[in-house]
Amino acid sequence: MLRSVVFLPVIFIQWSCALPTKWKPDPINNRPIIGILTQEVNDHVMKPFGKTYIPASYVKYIESGGSRVVPIRLTQSTAEYEKIFRSINGLLFIGGSSNLETSNFARVARIFYRLALKANDAGDFFPIWGTCLGMQLLTVLVAGENLLTKTPAENMSLPLNLTTEAFSSRMFEGFSSNLMNALSQEALTGNFHHYGVTVETFKDNDKLQSFFSILSTNKAENGATFVSTMEGKTYPFYGVQWHPEVSRFQWDPKLTFPHSPDAVRVASLLAEFFVNEVYCCRRNLHYFSQPEEEAMSLIYNYTPTYTGNFTGYEQIYFF
């Protein structure tokens, strides 16, 4: 009896690339530390407490993103700052009222800015974030001159006038379309400033124009249109003229801190972005050489002072 034979076609598949024998992920820093530059005390109400300070809201803001904090004093040597730079994974310039050209705050910021430029040029990603005065400081450092003019928006919550660059930006990449709409329509950003960089001045300055992308603008009380959000085009440097930290951590009833769910969500996402973004702190592998030195450098060694509401902050770290 004959049996039928079925011939099945044999398919040879040639892999375009072989799987590695062992997958090796890029190193990720799961214990990031961000430095916060202290600032001189200029307010006479605060002078009895110390010479420099950091509002606790900035510390909580960074910690809420999943990082620890090291306060950076203004009285150390350049060699000590270089050592700190090699030990931290990012840097925050806070808001305040220091002179952006002659103060120790500006002097030390300039040291770290130059170190960050050099590191990033060598492929060592080191992020810097500037809030309010900190953003203004970034424009001075990049432009090499003070281009600030009066753009008063004191004690005002505003929606952002988002540019087209905002929708392709790194900063807002994690924002849903609904939240981006809310950010452009609802008063989610707390503004407490007298000066800023106008859009016209920004665009007329080749250094600023080539270094930063404008992500949002706003109109000041005097009618001037100022840059309210920006990010570096090739460097992981970010600036906001408004205060994301206040939405979650400051509660003075005399001040218009936006506390809506959307405002809180915006603050949360930006804190997480700064710590987690691929160009930012978790890809930066700087570290303290000794665990004991790390432990002694952290903000945990200091106790914030409760100042009530007479300073605009409930809690402040003084140094």
Domains plus CATH for the chain? Answer: 33-318 (3.40.50.880)
Task: Return the pLDDT at 20.
Answer: 39
Task: Name the amino acid, one letter, at 8.
Answer: L
Q: Is the dihedral of CA 275, 280, 285, 286 positive or negative?
A: negative
- The mean per-residue pLDDT over the stretch 102-131 comes to 96
Identify which has the larger pLDDT, 25 or 291. 291
Tell me which of 193, 243, 280, 281 is the catalytic residue. Answer: 243
Mean pLDDT estimate for the chain: 91
Average pLDDT for 117-133: 95
Taking 50 as the threshold, does the pLDDT of residue 309 lie above it?
yes
Q: Check pLDDT > 60 for residue 23.
A: no
Q: Which residue has the tokens 């925050």?
A: 92
pLDDT for 277 equals 66
Q: Say what the pLDDT of residue 18 is.
A: 40
Cα–Cα dist 52/71, whole Å: 10
Q: What is the dihedral of CA 100, 102, 104, 107, to 10 degrees?
A: 80
Token digits of residue 48: 């009895």
Instruction: Confirm whether 259 is a catalytic residue.
Output: no
Q: Supply the DSSP symbol for 300.
A: G
User: What is the pTM (predicted TM-score) of this model?
Assistant: 0.90
Contacts of 248 (CB under 8 A, 6+ apart): 57, 60, 61, 64, 264, 267, 268
CA distances from 78 to 8, 110, 206 (A): 75, 11, 30
Q: Report how far apart the first and last C-alpha atoms of the chain are (Å, whole number).
A: 100
What pLDDT was estimated at residue 28? 77
**Half-sphere exposure at residue 123, Cβ-oriented, CA atoms within 13 angstroms:** 0
Residue 132 annotated as catalytic: yes
- Whether the predicted pLDDT of 3 surpasses 70: no
The partner residues of 71 in beta bridges, in order of sequence, read 36
Smallest CA-to-CA distance from 135 within 179, 71, 189, 204 is with: 189
- Specify the amino acid at residue 41: V
